[in-house]
Homo-oligomer: A and B are copies of this chain.
Amino acid sequence: MIAVLKEGTTVQQRDNLCEWFKSMGLEVHLSEGQFQTILGIIGDTSRVDIGLLESLSIIESVKRISEPFKNANRKFHTNDSVLDINGVKIGGGNFQIIAGPCSVESRDQIITIANQVKASGAAILRGGAFKPRTSPYDFQGLHAAGIDLLLEVKRQTGMPIVTEIMNVNDLDLFEEIDIIQVGARNMQNFDLLKELGKTKKNILLKRGLANTLKELLMSAEYIMAGGNENIILCERGIRTYETYTRNTLDLSAVPMLHELTHLPVIVDPSHATGICRLVEPMALAAVAAGADGVMIEVHNDPEHALCDGAQSLTPEQFDRVAKKVARIREVIVS
């Protein structure tokens, strides 16, 4: 961490500040120029509150050199984390396709789709029971009944299940769910993250609509600080001024996150683009960029999808994508 002192700072003030850093177990190196004094603060600075530091009257600016996340940091955990999702591995060279409908709508729907996507190579089933919708007047999901249908399909197909939580009070309902998804809008719902940190559940943490990679990793850090290291990160598009696509899929997040953290990183091309015709090219691009998995929406009857149908593939389209994904993956790992 670098702190630049304002002109006019007294020696006494400077020394007090240096003492404060030293009391936190940090080393301080001084660079004094004619106009500026620069402090180089070395050690574990993740616990230094940068807001507090900036508020001091003798400080001109503060910049972090090392990252404020620690448990998620690749530097302190060199090897890739590998998650074992009820027998299905992800991360560290293990690639998986997650597929399923946006929302669970009926027993028929979810069982049919599950069998279809499994046959095409999906290892994990997705399906929403609690749906975050911008409008209170739109369909909000089947809630507990949706969870029950997902668990029934799990028993029938053996596929692990991923589904979204929106309220910490629903946690009991997720006991047999294999991966709990934290959606983009809840990425900084810190109370929810803390509660999930107390469990040992697998967490799929989606990047927020306008959150930086650093903030995504700090949200992972909230969960990990509680003792739960079973986290998959998910890039799902960020908000920009472009309007042809719903969001802008930031695929450079994949190699960048792999550099910054040991956690697995997957990509959701369906929500990112919001357009079913773009799901194939962006799924393939995600694999080529090195993602540890892709999550794709599939619907057996898009004409009547209750939610987000515009971005869902038919099972036939998904089958074609899954085959190409496998071939791109072969090139990448070779």
A interface residues (Cβ-Cβ under 8 A, vs B):
2, 4, 27, 29-36, 38, 40, 42-43, 46-47, 49, 51-52, 54-57, 61, 63, 65-66, 68, 132-139, 166-169, 185-186, 188-191, 194, 209-215, 218, 221-222, 225, 238-245, 248-256, 259-260, 272-273, 275, 277-278, 281-282, 284-290, 302-303, 305-310, 312, 324, 327-328, 331-332, 334
Contact = CB atoms under 8 A, between A and B. Distances in A.
A65 B52 contact: no
A190 B192 CA distance: 13
A191 B166 contact: yes
Contacts of A238: 240, 242, 248
A55 B289 contact: no
B242 A139 contact: no
A191 B167 CA distance: 6
Which 7 residue pairs spanning A and B have beta carbons closest together? A55-B309, A210-B210, A29-B31, A33-B42, A31-B40, A288-B288, A284-B288
Nearest to A102: B51
A52 B303 CA distance: 8
A136 B190 CA distance: 8
B282 A252 contact: yes
* Residues of A contacting B: mostly: mixed
Given A33-B27, A167-B168, A244-B256, A285 B289 contact: yes
12 contacts: A46-B137, A51-B308, A52-B305, A52-B309, A55-B303, A57-B302, A135-B221, A136-B218, A166-B191, A241-B241, A255-B277, A327-B334
A19 to B, nearest CB: 15
B256 A245 contact: yes
* Most interface-central of A221, A272, A278 (chain B CB within 10 A): A278
A213 B332 CA distance: 30
A252 B277 contact: no
A134 B215 CA distance: 7
Contacts of A244: 212-214, 256, 260
Nearest to A66: B36
B303 A57 contact: yes
